Amino acid sequence: MFATLSDRLADTFKNLRGKGRLSEADIDATAREIRIALLEADVALPVVKEFVAAVKERARGEEVSGALNPAQQIVKIVNEELVNILGGETRRLRYAKTGPTVIMLAGLQGAGKTTLAAKLALWLKEQGKTPLLVACDLQRPNAVNQLQVNGERVGVPVFAPEPGNGTGDPVGVAQASIEEAKRKLHDVVIVDTAGRLGVDAELMQQAADIRDAVRPDEVLFVVDAMIGQDAVTTAQAFLEGVGYDAVVLTKLDGDARGGAALSIASITGRPVMFASNGEKLTDFDLFHPDRMASRILDMGDVLTLIEQAEKTFDAEQAMKAAEKLSGRGGEFTLVDFLEQMQQVRKLGSMSKIMGMLPGMGQFREQLENFDDREIDRIQAIIYSMTPAERINPKMIDGSRRQRIAKGCGRTVTEVNQLVDRFFEARKMMTQLAKGGGMPGMPGMPGMPGMGGGKGRKPKQPPKKGKGGKRVSGNPAKAAQAEKAAKEKAASAGGNPFGAPGGDEVDYEKAAAELNLPKDFSKFLK
């Protein structure tokens, strides 16, 4: 979503590199580029003015003028100001001290409230809560049925006494849901309310009546992050008409410019609490302003990636794979490789995973063009092998590769590539697990091919003989050099210090002849 903004800001900071000191003109030019980048991203004008003014003021201060690297300091300032306009700190749910915690969702039709209700229920369930979904959207056709289907998918019960489709009293349903939750010991109630295509008096009145009936602990305004400046207008209207405690952004995985996400918190004074960034019911999490700012500035979001991996990966399975790579638990096989690939697949698309790593903005086009079906093709090839072949890929000869290719509908070349890549990857991962270093990296021990081009042996140091002297590779020259060394030693009379004739050396006399300073003789004793 923030691709355009990220690229513009990256180009702006690139112009500052290498400058030991920033002039007034540099600061003004940078501020102008940041202003254009934010306006192009559809950020609200008041927010842009406030943001640029804060950056310019800090850039002219001592924190930049006294910095060793002013360009990096500017990036730091922009990052901190982005965090501020995104809401500052991470906002978390407030739970009721007694009775069920009531969460009410409000927003326009099409913002994704019903789907988000199920996502929130699943997220709460993973937190150890027992949520209850309540169908109070009795206006939109099949809204009740949609909530029931989503509730079944996430394993959360749905309270829907009315069929909806224009009939029923949403306020009465909301009131009855609280008693139902108490009776069945649900500790969280999520109320899905109706929306409209636009803000009107009837919508506001119904939302206000439901709010007054259930007295929610949290009112969350659900907004589509792709509708641009209208999201800010709608958010302001709901704030005045119904009131809410926090904002939930949906469709953050879209290709819109993302101005709504950067404007709402600053305009309304209400923080963004949750973010939905995909179609899957698991594509939902707390909104972290600092992590979102890091993504915008192409610094990655490694913390979120780690959290997702911890939730998705099987720790025991990962430990077994690590032991095999280190050589303690047997050999790493194609079976282990397939299991690890399936674990990674659970994290989501490869482009989404790689996009969380720092500096991946420059490879955005390649990531967007990555075909996730390539993983399916690899799985098909491995599944076409026999169990023995997966455990011992070395036994896969030419005839077996032809059979595997026919079995999975791929070519023999693709089977060859998979097997060859597996052996290369296993070798590299095993070496890393044992602390051997990364193949192909200078200065790393035990890495072949570091002495030049492909297939060339590294230059060997000259051989040394006894005493550390260099020895020629030519046998005749080596024999001649050895003979000369022996003659020299014989002329020295065998004295290791080379004294002629082997006579004893008078060191005190020798020291006197050197005219050394007085009292220096004590160092010779």
3-class DSSP state for residue 243? coil
Whole-angstrom Cα distance, residue 408 to residue 446? 38
SS3 letters for 46-106?
Answer: HHHHHHHHHHHHHHCCHHHHCCCCHHHHHHHHHHHHHHHHCCCCCCCCCCCCCCCEEEEEE
Residue 21 marked in a binding site: no
Those residues whose C-beta lies under 8 Å from the C-beta of residue 442, and which sit 6 or more positions away, are 450
363 burial class (0-12, 13-18, 19+ CB within 10 angstroms)?
middle
For residues 16 and 22, the answer to whether their CB atoms sit within 8 Å is yes
10 burial class (0-12, 13-18, 19+ CB within 10 angstroms)?
middle
Residue 109 marked in a binding site: yes
Whole-angstrom Cα distance, residue 295 to residue 280? 21
Residues in the chain, total = 525
Residue 113 marked in a binding site: yes
Residue 251 marked in a binding site: yes
Residue 112 marked in a binding site: yes
Residue 346 marked in a binding site: no
**How many other CB atoms are there within 10 angstroms of residue 20's CB atom?**
9
Residue 371 marked in a binding site: no
Residue 258 marked in a binding site: no
Residue 357 marked in a binding site: no
Residue 39 marked in a binding site: no
Residue 196 marked in a binding site: yes
Residue 111 marked in a binding site: yes
Residue 293 marked in a binding site: no
Q: To 10 degrees, the CA torsion angle through 425, 426, 431, 437?
A: 10
Among 312, 123, 101, CA closest to 218: 101
Residue type, 219: V
Beta bridge partners of 132: 189
Residue 42 marked in a binding site: no
Residue 114 marked in a binding site: yes
Residue 253 marked in a binding site: yes
E strand intervals along 93-238? 101-106, 131-136, 158-159, 188-193, 218-224
Residue 194 marked in a binding site: yes
Binding site feature residues: 107-114, 192-196, 250-253
Which residues contribute to the annotated binding site for GTP?
107-114, 192-196, 250-253
